[in-house]
Amino acid sequence: MSEPCPDPRIKKKRIKVTLACLMCRKKKVKCNGAQPNCSRCEAKGLDCEYIERNQRRGP
């Protein structure tokens, strides 16, 4: 028997990164947010820097 087709309605759950490194922001690419170095900077041998974001104030 053949395997059933996966349900197209089921989506892989993405991990939302709240903080991207400066290099990923500059290149406008997805950052995994790993610290001290994200995987992209690690692979490219780049300096991986993060800046602290100010907390947004609510209503």
Helix (H, G, I), strand (E, B) or coil at 41: helix
DSSP string, 1-59: -PPPPPPTT--PPPPPPS---HHHHHHT------SSS-HHHHHHT------PPPPPP--
Q: Has residue 33 been placed in a domain? A: yes
pTM of the model: 0.60
Q: Has residue 40 been placed in a domain? A: yes
pLDDT at position 35 is 87
pLDDT at position 3 is 62
Q: By residue range, what is the domain housing residue 27?
A: 18-52
CA–CA–CA angle 35, 30, 59 (5° rounding): 85
CATH of the domain at 46: 4.10.240.10
Q: Which of 54, 43, 48 shows the shortest CA–CA distance to 33? A: 48
pLDDT tens digits, 13-56: 766 667 899 999 999 999 998 989 999 999 999 999 998 776 66
Structural domains in the chain (count): 1
